[in-house]
């Protein structure tokens, strides 16, 4: 505990020395980017958004390109994707899971239900009207459910937030990924070609080439 | 020279001796911890530390075979199974409840008795691996490293000591069979189980079930 | 000595980091994904998927160092703190007797290049992972979490049962080589079987033993398809559920370094280690010493790593191909199938060694 705490707070103390910021700037840049590129998300799905979450994690969209992969334990995960409707019965569990996560931790409210109660359950007696009533949310993603592209854009937004986040300081305002993200497939195409296996043919169920 | 008592020979740094004292000290402390700490689980951990130190001392004595076996059998199997059993008992997270007033004194008495017995045995017996050496009629009182090699141990076990070795294996086989017999689920005859569904079959069944067990 | 120790630690850590990257890339290739792409030079990532995301594991390690280190309030602190350290210690200690290469430069006979070529090397390699069993059990129990505890118990049951066929499978090479030292076992494999130099590798006389050892080694290192101790679905990563930050990283690195140890032992014991089949250089001739001193050492290192990484790739292939086995199937498989098979292998190897001894002179 002592060593780990020293390791974590070391940079904070080192920055107080005169002229240390020149040395610490590249170190901080490295640490920020390291944290941004290894956001392990929690294996946690609540409703139909979880299906889109699984689709994003699988071959076509591939979370692993961002360095994200699932951990089943909240202690080891960095980001919690609230994928689906949070019922009042589930809400204490969601809060408990958030409390079990280790700092720095981030929350993405995925879809309408997690953001504000949703398009279908807005008048339901048993649904929490937005997960930000119990835990702080960093990124809201619109959609019901959001397309995988929108979720990827939300994760890129989380990465942007991780890079500027400093431990113990208030985190900035929440980022909102709008409806237009769902329509456009802009998420990652500019950065990396989405498929490296153009030579592989996708065959449909009858064994013919997929158009 | 694996172990020398010449601790004052500073010209050649006595790393073996130093290691021996380290192992011995840790072994003694952890051995004390086994009987003094309040939590049974911590006592188990201390016992494993004790075993590991014993393995280290075997290695220092020039018998790495015994050291590896100590690790494999005592740490890997026996201590782990012991901890396993300790963990399955109830309320092991809490410290052990207070014992009665006389219990420490009784323990002290028993251990002093045991220590005296061991001391008598050790001081009255001759060391220097005479027992090993006599069988080849090459007796020497010093520790002969070559007689402790793995090949030698294997040869001794299978030539002069073959009968006790085989006897031990028979005993282990008997233990194994006994354990299987104890752990095996009994073939209950349908009459014992008493379920109505099995009842009609009961007159025909007992002939086929093994009655010997 | 200290430098060698530090070198062991550095090699274990760096190699484990590389292996995690490789595993993610290979899993991507098998599942028609790309694996990590963004954390690294983007120009290279656009060329090929194998050039992308080089810093993925470095990022993970850095992040885990700077993550909050949680010790839950109701854990058993001694066991909780001790367990990952002992796991990492055992993972490093196993590397000691592995024969990476051999050289005859300046010597009259080949000298094994290992940190210490113990004369009970094989036994040592079987014995040291028993510390891992103990510490995984401790980690699971002292977390005070029912999933962790179940994971720890499963791990102990699995590792103790698969240790027995593993030791029996390693008996075959011991009998054939007549030695417990890994360096001697590799040297025995350079001499050929029945006078034919190409049959020297012990995977040929003891093919059953090699298969049994391979399966048992996967089970010993808790890798899929034998990863019930840390099954994500039902146990929530099992014995390391409560571990976060650096302590979890120790378990994670130890797992991958154990995978490399397993493939190294398989290479040394069954695949002839640093030797090239059919080529048995006389010890007084240092191959190509006019080009470079210690030329044979370098060739041996390259050959060894090619073999070890090939075995490792098969391990990863198996990991991403097979589904997890059920605990009772695992027990049945280990005790009723692998154990008799490995004992049969001992008998076969004894017969082969006797024939070799009588008709072609001793191996050792």
Q: Does residue B76 sit in the same domain as residue B155?
A: no
Query: In sequence order, which residues have a C-beta less than 8 Å from that of residue B166 and are 6 or more positions away?
Result: none
Q: Could you tell me which of B38, B93, B84 has the C-alpha nearest to residue C134? A: B84
A187 has pLDDT over 70: no
Tokens of C120: 């009970």
pLDDT band per the 50, 70, 90 thresholds, residue A11: low
B28 has pLDDT over 90: yes
Q: What is the pLDDT of residues C215-236, one digit of tens each?
A: 998 988 888 888 877 777 777 7
Q: Could you tell me which of A194, A120, B58 has the C-alpha nearest to residue C33? A: A194
At C360 the three-state DSSP class reads: helix
pLDDT band per the 50, 70, 90 thresholds, residue B132: very low
Which residues does chain B have within 8 Å of residue C138's beta carbon, measured at their own beta carbons?
45, 83
Q: In this complex, is the C-beta atom of B169 within 8 Å of any C-beta atom belonging to chain C? A: no
**Of the ranges A96-105, B41-50, C104-113, C192-201, which one carries the lowest mean pLDDT score?**
C104-113
Which residues does chain A have within 8 Å of residue C54's beta carbon, measured at their own beta carbons?
none
A195 has pLDDT over 80: no
Residues C55-66: what's their mean pLDDT?
86
Residue whose structure tokens are 């594991």: C57
Q: Cβ distance A116 to A130 under 8 Å? A: yes
Q: Give how far Cα A153 sits from Cα of A150, A160, C45, C53, Å.
A: 5, 11, 20, 19
Q: Give how far Cα A162 sits from Cα of A14, A22, A135, A186, C70, Å.
A: 21, 21, 17, 21, 20
- Which pLDDT value is given to residue B81? 82
A53 has pLDDT over 60: yes
Q: Is residue B2 part of a domain?
A: yes
Residues C326-346: what's their mean pLDDT?
90
Mean pLDDT in chain B?
A: 73
Tell whether ipTM is more than 0.90: no
Q: What is the pLDDT of residues B162-190, one digit of tens each?
A: 899 899 999 999 998 998 888 887 666 55
**Of the ranges B9-13, B87-91, B129-133, which one carries the lowest mean pLDDT score?**
B129-133
Mutate to test the interface with C, among A3, A38, A96, A168 (most CBs of C within 10 A): A38
- Which pLDDT value is given to residue B5? 44
- Which pLDDT value is given to residue B24? 92
Separation between Cα atoms, residue C116 and residue C97, nearest integer Å:
5
Give the domain extent around A158: 37-183
**What is the helix (H) or strand (E) element at residue A107, kind and residue range?**
strand A106-110
Tokens of B204: 């025909």
For chain B, what is the domain count? 2
At A46 the three-state DSSP class reads: coil
Separation between Cα atoms, residue A115 and residue A102, nearest integer Å:
23
- Which pLDDT value is given to residue C15? 84
Q: Could you tell me which of A129, A136, A43 has the C-alpha nearest to residue A87? A: A129
Q: Is residue B104 part of a domain?
A: no
Cα A11–Cα A15–Cα A20 angle in degrees, nearest 5: 115
Give the domain extent around B2: 1-94
- Which pLDDT value is given to residue B71? 87
Measured CB to CB, residues of chain A less than 8 Å from chain C are: 1, 4-5, 7-8, 30-31, 33-35, 37-38, 43, 58-59, 62, 64-67, 69-73, 75-76, 78, 102-104, 191-193, 196-197, 200
Cα A137–Cα A138–Cα A139 angle in degrees, nearest 5: 105
Q: In this complex, is the C-beta atom of B64 within 8 Å of any C-beta atom belonging to chain C? A: yes
Cross-chain residue pair A192–C67, CB shorter than 8 Å: no
Mean pLDDT in chain C?
A: 82
- Which pLDDT value is given to residue B83? 81
Q: In this complex, is the C-beta atom of B156 within 8 Å of any C-beta atom belonging to chain C? A: no
CATH of the domain at A43: 3.40.50.12280
Cross-chain residue pair A1–C71, CB shorter than 8 Å: yes
Q: Is residue B15 part of a domain?
A: yes
Q: How far does C125 lie from chain B, in Å, by closest CA?
A: 9
C89 has pLDDT over 80: yes
Q: Does residue B2 sit in the same domain as residue B90?
A: yes
Cross-chain residue pair A67–C34, CB shorter than 8 Å: no
Q: How far does A72 lie from chain C, in Å, by closest CA?
A: 5
Pairing of strands C111-113, C101-103: antiparallel
Q: In this complex, is the C-beta atom of B45 within 8 Å of any C-beta atom belonging to chain C? A: yes
Tokens of C284: 């007084």
- Which pLDDT value is given to residue A5? 59
Q: Give how far Cα A188 sits from Cα of A33, A181, C203, C285, Å.
A: 18, 12, 48, 58
Q: Is residue B120 part of a domain?
A: no
Say which of C36, C63, C69 has its CB closest to residue A4.
C69
Q: Does residue B88 sit in the same domain as residue B172?
A: no
Q: Is residue A160 part of a domain?
A: yes
CATH of the domain at B86: 1.20.120.1200
pLDDT band per the 50, 70, 90 thresholds, residue B141: very low
Q: How far does A87 lie from chain C, in Å, by closest CA?
A: 23
What percent of chain C is modeled with pLDDT above 70? 90
Q: What is the pLDDT of residues C10-22, one digit of tens each?
A: 776 788 888 888 8
Q: Is residue A16 part of a domain?
A: no
Neighbouring chains of C at 3+ CB pairs under 8 Å are A, B
Q: Is residue A144 part of a domain?
A: yes
Q: Does residue B89 sit in the same domain as residue B2?
A: yes
Q: Could you tell me which of A78, A162, A29, A108 has the C-alpha nearest to residue C67? A: A78
Separation between Cα atoms, residue C338 and residue C76, nearest integer Å:
37
Query: In sequence order, which residues have a C-beta less than 8 Å from that of residue A80 and are 6 or more positions away?
Result: A41, A42, A44, A74, A97, A98, A101, A105, A106, A107, A108
For chain A, what is the domain count? 1
- Which pLDDT value is given to residue B167? 93
Q: Is residue A22 part of a domain?
A: no
Q: Could you tell me which of C140, C238, C231, C126 has the C-alpha nearest to residue C182? A: C126
pLDDT band per the 50, 70, 90 thresholds, residue A1: very low
Tokens of A163: 């890079």
Backbone angles phi, psi at C101, to 5 degrees: -165, -175
- Which pLDDT value is given to residue B136? 44
């Amino acid at each position: 505990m002592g060593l780990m705490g020293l390791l974590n707070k070391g940079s904070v103390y080192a920055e107080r020395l005169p002229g240390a910021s020149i040395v610490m700037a590249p170190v901080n840049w490295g640490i920020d980017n390291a944290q941004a590129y290894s956001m392990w998300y929690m294996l946690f799905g609540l409703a139909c958004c979880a299906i889109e979450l699984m689709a994003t994690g699988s071959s076509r969209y591939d979370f692993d390109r961002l360095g994200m992969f699932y951990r089943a334990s909240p202690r080891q995960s960095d980001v919690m994707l609230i994928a689906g409707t949070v019922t009042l019965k589930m809400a204490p569990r969601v809060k408990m899971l958030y409390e079990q996560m280790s700092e720095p931790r981030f929350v993405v409210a995925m879809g309408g239900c997690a953001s504000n109660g949703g398009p279908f359950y807005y008048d339901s007696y048993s649904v929490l009207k937005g997960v930000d009533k119990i835990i702080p949310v960093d990124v809201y993603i619109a959609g019901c459910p959001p397309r995988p592209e929108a979720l990827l854009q939300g994760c890129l937004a989380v990465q942007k937030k991780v890079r500027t986040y400093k431990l113990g300081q208030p985190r900035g305002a929440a980022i909102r990924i709008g409806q237009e993200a769902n329509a456009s497939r802009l998420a990652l195409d500019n950065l990396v070609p989405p498929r490296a296996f153009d030579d592989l043919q996708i065959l449909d169920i009858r064994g013919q080439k997929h158009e | 020279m694996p172990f020398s008592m010449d601790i004052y020979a500073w010209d050649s740094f006595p790393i073996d001796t130093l290691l021996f004292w380290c192992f011995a000290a840790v072994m003694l402390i952890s051995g004390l911890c086994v009987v003094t700490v309040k939590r049974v689980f911590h006592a188990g951990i201390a016992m494993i530390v004790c075993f590991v130190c014993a393995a280290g001392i075997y290695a220092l004595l020039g018998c790495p075979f015994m050291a590896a076996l100590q690790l494999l059998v005592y740490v890997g199997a026996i201590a782990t199974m012991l901890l396993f059993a300790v963990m399955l008992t109830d309320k092991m997270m809490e410290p052990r409840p207070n014992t009665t007033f006389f219990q420490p004194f009784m323990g002290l008495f028993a251990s002093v008795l045991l220590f005296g017995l061991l001391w008598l045995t050790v001081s009255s017996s001759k060391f220097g691996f005479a027992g090993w050496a006599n069988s080849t009629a090459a007796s020497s009182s010093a520790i002969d490293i070559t007689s402790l090699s793995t090949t030698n141990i294997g040869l001794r076990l299978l030539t002069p000591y073959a009968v006790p070795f085989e006897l031990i294996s028979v005993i282990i086989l008997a233990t194994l069979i006994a354990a299987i017999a104890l752990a095996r689920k009994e073939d209950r005859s349908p009459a014992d189980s008493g379920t109505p569904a099995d009842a009609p079959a009961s007159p025909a069944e007992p002939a086929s079930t093994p009655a010997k067990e | 000595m200290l430098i060698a120790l530090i070198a062991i630690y550095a090699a274990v850590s760096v190699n484990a980091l590389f292996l995690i990257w490789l595993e993610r890339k290979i899993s991507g290739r098998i599942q028609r994904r790309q694996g990590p792409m963004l954390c690294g030079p983007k120009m290279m990532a656009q060329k090929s998927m194998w050039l992308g995301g080089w810093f993925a594991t470095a990022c993970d390690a850095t992040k885990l160092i700077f993550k909050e280190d949680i010790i839950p309030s109701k854990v058993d602190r001694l066991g909780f703190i001790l367990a990952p350290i002992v796991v990492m210690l055992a993972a490093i200690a196993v590397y000691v007797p592995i024969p990476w290469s051999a050289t005859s430069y300046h010597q009259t006979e080949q000298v094994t290049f290992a940190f210490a070529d113990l004369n009970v090397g094989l036994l040592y390699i079987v014995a040291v992972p028993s510390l891992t069993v103990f510490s995984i059990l401790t980690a699971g129990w002292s977390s005070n979490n029912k999933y962790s505890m179940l994971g720890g118990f499963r791990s102990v049951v699995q590792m103790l049962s698969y240790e027995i066929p593993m030791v029996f499978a390693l008996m075959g090479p011991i009998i054939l080589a007549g030695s417990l030292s890994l360096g001697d076992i590799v040297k025995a494999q350079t001499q050929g079987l029945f006078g034919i130099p190409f049959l020297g590798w012990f995977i040929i006389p003891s093919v059953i033993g090699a298969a049994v050892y391979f399966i048992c080694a996967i089970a010993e290192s808790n890798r899929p398809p034998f990863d019930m101790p840390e099954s994500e679905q039902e146990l929530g990563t099992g014995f390391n559920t409560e571990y976060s930050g650096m302590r979890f990283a120790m378990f994670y690195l130890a797992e991958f370094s154990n995978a490399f140890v397993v493939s190294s032992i398989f290479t040394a014991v069954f695949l002839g280690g640093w030797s090239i089949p059919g080529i048995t250089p006389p010890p007084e001739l240092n191959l190509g010493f006019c080009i470079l001193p210690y030329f044979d050492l370098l060739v041996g290192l390259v050959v060894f790593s090619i073999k070890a990484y090939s075995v490792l790739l098969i391990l990863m292939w198996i990991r991403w191909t097979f589904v997890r086995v059920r605990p009772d199937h695992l027990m049945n498989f280990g005790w009723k199938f692998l154990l008799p098979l490995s004992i049969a292998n001992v008998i076969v190897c004894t017969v082969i060694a006797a024939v070799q001894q009588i008709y072609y002179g001793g191996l050792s």
